[in-house]
Amino acid sequence: MNILVFVESAEGKIKKTSIEAVVYAHAMGGAVTAIALGSVESSELEALGKYGAKKVLHASDSKLNQGIIQAYASVLVSAMKDEQADILILANSSLGTPVAARVAAKIGASLASNVVELPNTSSGFVVKRSIYTGKAFAHVELKNAKKVLGLKKNAAEIKEVGAAVSVTPYSTSLVDADFATKITSSEKATGEVLLPEANIVVSGGRGMKGPENWGMLEELAKTLHAATGCSKPVSDMNWRPHHEHVGQTGVKVAPQLYIAVGISGAIQHLAGVNSSKCIVVINKDPEAPFFKAADYGIVGDAFEIIPKLTEAIKASK
Amino acid sequence: MKILVCISHVPDTTSKINFTDNNTKFDSNGVQFIIGPYDDYALARAIEIKEASGATVTVLNVGPADTEPTIRKALAIGADDAIRVNAEPTDSFFVAAQIAEQAKAGGYDLILMGRESIDYNSGVVHGIVGEMLGMPSISPVMKLEIEGNTAKLAREIEGGKEFLEVNLPFVAGCQEPIAEWKIPNMRGIMSARTKPLKVVEPSAVDSGVKLQKFELPAPKGSVKMISPDNVGELVTLLKNEAKVL
Ligand SMILES: Cc1cc2nc3c(=O)[nH]c(=O)nc-3n(C[C@H](O)[C@H](O)[C@H](O)COP(=O)(O)OP(=O)(O)OC[C@H]3O[C@@H](n4cnc5c(N)ncnc54)[C@H](O)[C@@H]3O)c2cc1C
Ligand SMILES: Nc1ncnc2c1ncn2[C@@H]1O[C@H](COP(=O)(O)O)[C@@H](O)[C@H]1O
C-alpha cells in the first residue's frame, strides 16, 4: 500500500498537523511518500524521514508558493499517479480541506475529513470522524480503492520512528486553468503561534470589556507560548481579528489546554473547544454555563486573576 | 446574473445530539432545524448582490420533504425560487453530484455555499462541485465583491487572510463577515408561500462511503473549583494532575 501525504508549511516550516499526518500514514503500515509544494526549508523536508516518510518529494515551482486550491489539487493527483499511491492523507486546514475535495472528485476516491484516529481495517476500511461540530462521531466505511483522508488535529501523536531522508525534486506540468484564481495579496500575522496549531490557547470574551484590555491576555499567552483566541461577539465588534474567533462559526481548536476568560460558554462557543484536552474557565459569574464544560474553574474578576496567574506561571518555571 | 445558493437543513446550534436505532439514526425528537449558519451567510450575500445590482437567486437543497420549511425560510429572506432534490443527503459526494447536475441545467454565474455544513462539517461539497463543473472553487470566503465578469474575494487562512481575483462562474464556500444574517420580515414570509419550489428526483450516484454507526463522546468529568486567592494551586494542578504545562 503506497500512501501519499501532502505536507503544508508556514514560513518555510512544516506545520505540526502535517507532521501528524506523516506519523499517521506510517502507523497505517504503508510505504509513505510525503510531498511539499512551494518554498520550504530543505532541512525541514529531510526531517520528515524521522516521522516515517520513506521518500520526500518537493515541487518547488515558484508558482506554487501561493496556496492555489486547483493547482495544488492537480499536483497531488499527478504525484499519486507517479507514486502509484491509492491513498492521500493530509491535515484539515483552510487549504488542505478544499484541496482534498477536488483531489477526491478528480480521481473518484472515497473521501473523509475530520478523521480523528487510525482506520479500523479488520473488515473493510473504516474511519472515525468528528461530526456535529465535535458533539458526536461517525464511523464510515470508505469503499473505493482510492481514498482521501483529511485529519483533525491530534489524530496521531508525533513521535520519531526513523532517520532523515534526502529530498527528491518533483517537477510539475501545470496548465493555465490551474491558476484561474489569482492571489493578489495576503495579510498574515508572522511569528505568532497559529491558533489551529497551538498546544495552548488563551481566549477572551465580552467579559474583557474592550480591546484595550487584551494586553494582559497576550502577556499570559506569551508566558505559556500560547495562541490567543476570542468569542464571536469580540471579533464581531472588531476587538480582535476574525481569524481568532473560536466556535461553531469560527476556528475549531483542539489544544492540550484552553483557558477561557470572561466567556459565558454559550453552546456555539463550546462547539469550537470541545476537543480540548483540558479546559480552564475564569469567570466572575459562578453560574456561567462554561463551568459545566470545564476541568478547572476560578470564580472571580479576570482583571485581578489574570496578572496573578501570569506571575504564578513565571514563578513556576 | 443568476446565483445559486446551496443550503443545508441542520439542527439548531443549541441542539443536543442523540441517536436512535442502535446508534445508526439521528434522533430528531425535539430538534429544531435551521438553514446552516454558514449557508445563511452565503444567502445573505446573494440577497445583497441582488439588491445592489440585480440578480435572481435560486436556493437549492438536497433533502426529503421535511426540509421544505427551511427552504421557505430562505425564500422569505429574499430568494426568488427554490429547487429541492428529493433525497436523503447521505454523503458529500452524493450531495455534490446532485448540486452539480442542477447547476449545469440552470447555467448559474455564481454558486454560493457555506464553508461547511454543521452536521457533517466536511467542508468539501463546494470543492467537489467545482471539480465536477470544471470551475474554480474558493473557500472559506469572508468577502465577495462582483465587478462585471470578475470577482474580488478575501479568503481566510490560518493567522490571516488572502485576497483573490477570479472570473465568473465559480463556486464559493462562505463564512462571516461576508454579510450579516438576514431575518425574514412579514412581507417576505407572506410572499414566500407562493414562490416556486420545484421538486426533482435525484440521479443515481454510486457513493464511495457508507455510514456504519454514530458514537457520542464520553461525558466530561466534573469541574474542580479553585479559590481566586490561590491561583498558584491552578498552576500546580495543570502541571501535576492534568499534565498540560
Ligand atoms: C448560529 C450561531 C452561531 C454562533 N457561533 C459562535 C461561535 O462560533 N463562537 C462564539 O463564541 N459564539 C458564537 N455564537 C454566539 C454565542 O451564542 C454567544 O452569544 C457568545 O459566545 C457569547 O460571547 P461571550 O461569552 O464573549 O459574551 P457573554 O455571553 O456576554 O459573556 C461574557 C461573560 O463574561 C463574564 N464576565 C464579565 N465581566 C467579567 C470579569 N471582570 N471577569 C471575569 N468574567 C467576567 C460574564 O459573567 C459572562 O459570563 C453563535 C450564535 C449563533 C446563534
Ligand atoms: N443537503 C444539502 N443540500 C444543499 N446544499 C448542501 C447540502 N449539504 C451541504 N450543502 C452545501 O455544501 C456546503 C458544505 O457542506 P459540507 O461539505 O457537508 O460541509 C454547505 O455549507 C452547504 O452550502
pLDDT tens by residue, B65-124: 999 999 999 999 999 999 999 999 989 999 999 999 999 999 999 999 999 999 888 899
Distance from CA of B177 to the nearest CA of A (A): 8
Closest CA relative to residue A264, chosen from A251, A281, A279: A281
C-alpha cell at position A281? 474557565
DSSP string for residues in A85-121: -SEEEEE-STTHHHHHHHHHHHHT-EEEEEE-SPPB-
Q: Is the Cβ atom of A134 under 6 angstroms away from ligand 1?
A: no
Ligand 1 atom nearest A245 alpha carbon = 9
Ligand 2 atom nearest B113 alpha carbon = 23
Cα B92 to middle of ligand 2, angstroms: 8
* Measured distance CA(B158)–CA(A192) in Å, rounded: 11
Q: Is the Cβ atom of B32 under 6 angstroms away from ligand 1?
A: no
Spatial contact of A86 and A4, defined as CB atoms under 8 Å apart: no
Q: What angle do CA A295, A297, A300 make, to 5 degrees?
A: 170
Ligand number, closest to the Cα atom of B6:
2
Name the B residues in 43-72 with CB < 8 Å from any A CB: none
Q: How far apart, in Å, do the first and last CA atoms of chain B sit?
A: 55
Spatial contact of B9 and B70, defined as CB atoms under 8 Å apart: yes
Instruction: Please report the pLDDT score of residue A229 as a whole number.
Output: 97
Ligand 2 atom nearest B129 alpha carbon = 12
C-alpha cell at position B20? 436512535
Distance from CA of B83 to the nearest CA of A (A): 24
Cα A217 to middle of ligand 2, angstroms: 36
Q: Is the Cβ atom of B6 under 6 angstroms away from ligand 2?
A: yes
Which residues of chain B neighbour A285 with C-beta distances below 8 Å?
none
Which residues of chain A neighbour B228 with C-beta distances below 8 Å?
298-301, 304-305
Instruction: Please report the pLDDT score of residue B207 as a whole number.
Output: 84
Q: Which of B101, B120, B153 to mutate to test the interface with A (most CBs of A within 10 A)?
A: B120
Three-state secondary structure call for residue A316: helix
What residues contact A43, with CB distance under 8 A and at least 6 apart?
A: none
* Contact: A110, B220; criterion CB under 8 Å: no
Q: Is the Cβ atom of B116 under 6 angstroms away from ligand 2?
A: yes
Instruction: Please report the pLDDT score of residue A62 as a whole number.
Output: 92
Q: Is the Cβ atom of A60 under 6 angstroms away from ligand 1?
A: no
H/E stretch holding A230 reads strand A227-230
Q: Determine if the peptide bond prior to B177 is cis (ω within 30°).
A: yes
Spatial contact of B125 and B95, defined as CB atoms under 8 Å apart: yes
Residue in A232, A248, A274, A292 to alter for ligand 1 test, most ligand atoms within 8 A of Cβ: A232
Q: How far apart, in Å, do the first and last CA atoms of chain A sit?
A: 46
- Which amino acid, one-letter code, is at A311? E
Q: Is the Cβ atom of B71 under 6 angstroms away from ligand 2?
A: no
What residues contact A216, with CB distance under 8 A and at least 6 apart?
A: A303, A306, A307, A310
Residues in chain A where the model's pLDDT stays below 50 = none
Three-state secondary structure call for residue A10: strand
**Does B208 lie at the interface with A, CB-CB under 8 angstroms?**
yes
* Measured distance CA(B45)–CA(B207) in Å, rounded: 32
Instruction: Please report the pLDDT score of residue A191 as a whole number.
Output: 67
**Does B210 lie at the interface with A, CB-CB under 8 angstroms?**
yes
DSSP string for residues in B120-149: T----HHHHHHHHHT--EEEEEEEEEEETT
Cα A317 to middle of ligand 2, angstroms: 48
Residues in chain B where the model's pLDDT stays below 50 = none
- Chain A: residue nearest B169 by CA? A180
C-alpha cell at position B174? 462562505
Spatial contact of B197 and B81, defined as CB atoms under 8 Å apart: yes
Which residues of chain A neighbour B119 with C-beta distances below 8 Å?
131-132
Q: Is the Cβ atom of B70 under 6 angstroms away from ligand 2?
A: no
Which residues of chain A neighbour B238 with C-beta distances below 8 Å?
257, 278, 280, 296
Ligand number, closest to the Cα atom of A101:
2
* Measured distance CA(B128)–CA(B107) in Å, rounded: 17
